[in-house]
Structure 1
Amino acid sequence: MKKIVPLAILLAVTQVACNDAKQEVVKKVPEINQQTVTNDVTYLASDELEGRATFTPGITKAAEFIAKRFKEAGLKPLDGLQSYEQSFSLYNVKADSVAVNLNGEAISSENVAVATSNEMLNWDDSTPVALTVIGKDDDFRAKVGELNQRGGSNLVVIDPAHEGMFKRYQAYFGGGLNKFEINTNNTLVMVVTPLTDIKSLAVNVTNTVKTQALSNVVGVLPGKSKEVVLFSAHYDHLGVDEQAEGDKIYNGADDDASGTTAIMNLAQYYRDQGDNQRTLIFSAFTAEEIGGYGSKYFSTHIDADNIVAMVNIEMIGKPSKFGAGKFWMTGYERSNLGPLMNESLKSINTEIYPDPYPEQRLFYRSDNATLARLGVPAHSFSSTQLDKDKHYHKASDDVASLDLESMTQVIKSIAIGSQALVDGKATPTRVDTSKVNKSGLIY
């Protein structure tokens, strides 16, 4: 016989069950905490890390700290790695001796600059070398840029009117080139001379090649899909200037301890949320300041076709020209990532603005460009007022120069703006690679 349950008891039991069910489906609301943000950026920009220059003990300490924060967030190493560090090597190729003779006349080393990946150069009249003349009225940067895109062996004779610009390139090349491969025969030999008709040449260069180790720090929050949303920032900076008077440490609080702090806190945010449909990768890139080598290496060890978006965070430590807590995006017109994120940002009555400094070509000046060249909707997100920032690449770029409340708000907005990407509900258009400048072959 079926036992009859009193109605009052049945209602009470039903109410308890409903309450339990509600508790089960209520998600934990993640938080991006300003005090944690402050702690992270303060350590990364501390004097202890001595400016986080590539190949220094300071950047090693930074990497260890980022890895610790990734572990706390419950991230996993990238597939194939045993730790969060994605280690690789670069060759530094630096001229040891240079001798150039044109039309039987020895050229002073003060008027010669060499950029090459070769251990040695021994050119003579039989060597297939392309000659380029940069005349008084020519666009120096444009002509050299074209050669960099083309590659090969190039002799460039430069009218003395361009001596000032030549000296800048000479100083840059003087530190040596960092290369993944050597002896690729991609070379520039630049000579300041009034000569334009080169009938004979002799170029002899001996280089010192040094191998240097470095690491990205990469953590993964696996999702239900193999599609990837990549959050990135670079954690290197300029190190110490021993010749400077006063403060010698370039702490890089805004550039880019702020962005690195953002990805660490976003990792914790999405881990706490706990239901990402897409796989999330958080990468702190090394060697951005010396040529973007961290992102270049990363891009060759991942299937870029699986990356649906790259949110690269670069200098968010100060209020933008649009106000505190507001930020903008490079290459806004190259995909519809910005408009998609703005749909999510309507919920907090804010938006991402297009890059207000297009003349600065910032799309190409951070790690996003490397992935954009592979078609990824890869953009940098920033709040810096680059035209007014007195601290950019200065020792004064320390935590005291930051607006931590504004910075925290930007991170929160990026989290909300990225939610549809993370949930797999929004997929931005790919970047048209035919409209993205290729990376240089020589330097």
Structure 2
Amino acid sequence: MLTITKNALALTLSVALGATFSSSVYANNTSLEAITKDITHLASDDLKGRASFSPEIDQAADYIAKRFKEIGLVPMKGEHSFKQSFDITTIRPASLEVTLNGKLIAADQLGIASTIKAIKWSDLDDFTLHSVSKKDNMREVIRGINQQGGKHVVLINPAHKKLFAGYSGYFARGLKKLSLDHQGAIVMILTEESTIDTINVAAKTTIEKQTLTNVVGVLPGNKLKDDVVLYSAHYDHLGITPTENGEDSIYNGADDDASGTTAIINLAQYFANKGSNARTVIFSAFTAEEIGGFGSRYFSQQLNPDDVIAMINIEMIGKPSKFGPGNVWMTGMERSSLGEELNKALASKDFKIYKDPYPKQNLFYRSDNATLARLGVPAHSFSSTQLDKDQHYHKVTDDLASLDLNSMHKVIENLSIATQGLIDGKITPTRVDINKVKSLGKIY
């Protein structure tokens, strides 16, 4: 567990070691002391891992809102405060009973993902039937159904027993939805049968609403005030895991993503102090990225995405990248001209924004940028983490002591330089082709 003494020591050492170094190398657009103070608080044990729906994530939201107010930002249009609250719905299976071809199916051979309150199917016209044989790709079939939406029964050969168990277990934990606009269900049956003569499906779900909160601050623009540049990061993490031996049980989420949240706060401070932004700049700390990206989904519905010139989503910048301290890589560089434009501003600084070195991880779709990219925004995530070497990702050891705050400061400095043209209105990157971006599923 990261103790208060350890936090204080890390703060003292980081400031002492970094202050003189930054004065000669950094642009000094941001303060290492302020950066260290912000991340020390956000990654502290007091916030208990900032899990969605916890009291501690509300405390984190309070801190970010306070910082936005101190900086001089204003709430987003239509909001009375920096807190942008909204509800999501959790739908959990309450009961499921299936009789197939005259035989009652055992509970452990059934699985359901449903956004429908109650199901009573007995006619083949009530649903679309699918059969997954031994040789079929079950994962592709289920994904295709999810993209399609609607009502489905899937007969799955026992050869897929292990994958079936994975899906049914995942569905049993419940589905979280921003809205229930798309009503649909997938009923999975593990069986040797591949056809249906008769069937009866009876199912019920429980529905619960819970509140989540983004924290959004705006720096109004001048000459190009209708254009928006968005800086974002998610401030939620994984909370606490129970232990029996008293060892560290808090997922502090220092790198993921207190580092990114700290970056947007301090970039807001820099651009507000400068006071010369032609475009409107929005700084958004998203909630619920770890449980499905609901914060960015809700946020994207509160403005016209055509007005967003670019989204700089900052995700895990607390350690040096494989390209060296201060350098970052961005996801989906080939999808817009943003990376190329930003690198022009860094050309004389001996730093660079690199193409995502981990393409097999599908990182473009694994953070909040994907939501805005699906709407055509040049929306990309910027990171320095070395995914092939990082031993702390989603571990309780992702605490302040695992970070290199000098490197993190350098990343923030370089992003302030690289993105200045966006703020001034001198850079307008090409849009993302929405036809080449995978859409979200409709059922789960």
Q: TM-score, length-normalised on structure 2?
A: 0.91
The alpha carbon displacement at 1:244 in A equals 6.8
On the 8 A contact 1:119/1:183 being kept in 2, the answer is no
- Change beyond 3 A, Cα 1:167–1:42: farther
Report if the CA contact (8 A) 2:346-2:414 is conserved.
Answer: yes
1:379 aligns to what SS in structure 2? strand
Aligned to 2:404: 403
Give the aligned partner of residue 133 of structure 2.
135
Deviation at residue 146 of structure 1 after TM alignment? 1.1
1:184, distance to aligned residue in structure 2 (A) = 3.5
Say whether the 8 Å CA contact 1:117–1:181 is kept in structure 2: no
**Distance between the aligned counterparts of 1:124 and 1:341, measured in 2?**
59
- The corresponding residue for 2:306 is 305
Partner AA of 2:102 in structure 1: G
Matched AA of 1:123: W
Q: Is 2:54 aligned against 1:56?
A: yes
2:85 to 78, 84, 87: 87
| Counterpart position of 2:100 | 102
Per-residue CA deviation, residues 195-236 of structure 1 (Å, 9 max, x unaligned), is 211222222111111110111100000011210000001111
Query: What is the CA–CA distance in structure 1 between the aligned matches of 2:100 and 2:60, rounded to whole Å?
Result: 49
Whole-Å Cα distance in 1 between the matches of residues 440 and 107 of structure 2? Answer: 29
100-109 or 81-90: bigger deviation: 100-109
**In structure 1, what is the equivalent of residue 230 of structure 2?**
230
Match among 162, 174, 177 for residue 175 of structure 2: 177
Q: Is residue 331–residue 381 contact of structure 2 (8 Å, CA) maintained in 1?
A: yes
1:241-297 superposed Cα distances (whole Å, 9 cap, x missing partner)? 225752221111111111111100110010111100100000011111111111111
What residue in structure 2 maps to residue 7 of structure 1? none
The 5 A counterparts of 1:160-175 are: 160-175=158-173
Segment of structure 1 superposing worse, 261-270 or 137-146: 137-146
Q: CA deviation at 1:390?
A: 1.3
**Structure 2 contact 233–315 (Cα < 8 Å) conserved:** yes
Q: Report what 1:265 is aligned to.
A: 266
The 2-side partners of 1:268 and 1:374 are apart by: 28
Q: Distance in 1 between matches of 2:165 and 2:406?
A: 42
**How is 1:9-408 mapped onto 2 (pairs within 5 angstroms)?**
31-182=29-180, 184-224=182-222, 225=224, 226-242=226-242, 246-408=247-409
Write the letter of the residue equivalent to 1:396: T
Which letter maps to 2:233? A
Counterpart CA distance in 2 for 1:120 and 1:219 is: 41
Which residue identity lines up with residue 145 of structure 1 in the other structure? R
d(CA) in 2 for partners of 1:301, 1:432: 21
1:127: how far off?
4.4
Mapped partners of 2:322, 2:351: distance in 1: 14
Contact 1:84 1:219 in 2 (8 A): yes
Letter in 2 for 1:210: E
Alignment-mate amino acid for residue 351 of structure 2: T
1:376-402 deviations in Å (ceiling 9; x for gaps): 000000111112211111111111111
Query: Offset of 1:126 from its aligned partner?
Result: 4.9
Q: Where do 5+ consecutive residues of structure 2 fail to align? A: 1-26
Residue 430 of structure 2 aligns with which residue?
429
Note the C-alpha offset of 1:30: 6.2
Aligned residue identity for 2:347: K
* 1:169, distance to aligned residue in structure 2 (A): 1.9
Q: 1:255 is paired with a residue of what secondary structure?
A: helix
Residues 211 and 341 (structure 1), Cα distance of their counterparts in 2 relative to 1, 3 Å cut: same
Equivalent residue, structure 2, for 1:22: none
Report Cα offsets for 1:341-369 as digits up to 9, x if no partner.
00111131211000011111100011101
Aligned in 2, Cα 1:436/1:398: closer, same or farther, shift over 3 Å?
same
Identity of aligned residues (%): 54
CA–CA distance in 1 between the matches of 2:317 and 2:163?
A: 32
Highest Rg: 1 or 2? Answer: 1
- Measured against aligned partners, the alpha-carbon deviations of 1:396-428 in whole angstroms (never above 9, x if no partner) come to 111111111111111111111100001000100
| DSSP 3-state at the match of 1:390 | coil
3-state DSSP of counterpart to 2:171? helix
The code of the aligned residue for 1:58 comes to E
Deviation of 1:135 after TM superposition, in Å, equals: 2.0
Q: Which amino acid aligns with 1:235?
A: Y
Report the AA paired with residue 373 of structure 1. R
For 1:59, the aligned partner's letter is I
Q: Deviations over 1:48-70 (max 9, x none)?
A: 11111111101101100110111
Distance 1:303 1:351, change over 3 A: same
- Structure 2 distance, partners of 1:374, 1:182, is 20
Q: Secondary structure at the match of 2:65?
A: helix
Say if 1:117 and 1:442, in contact at 8 Å, map to a contact too. yes
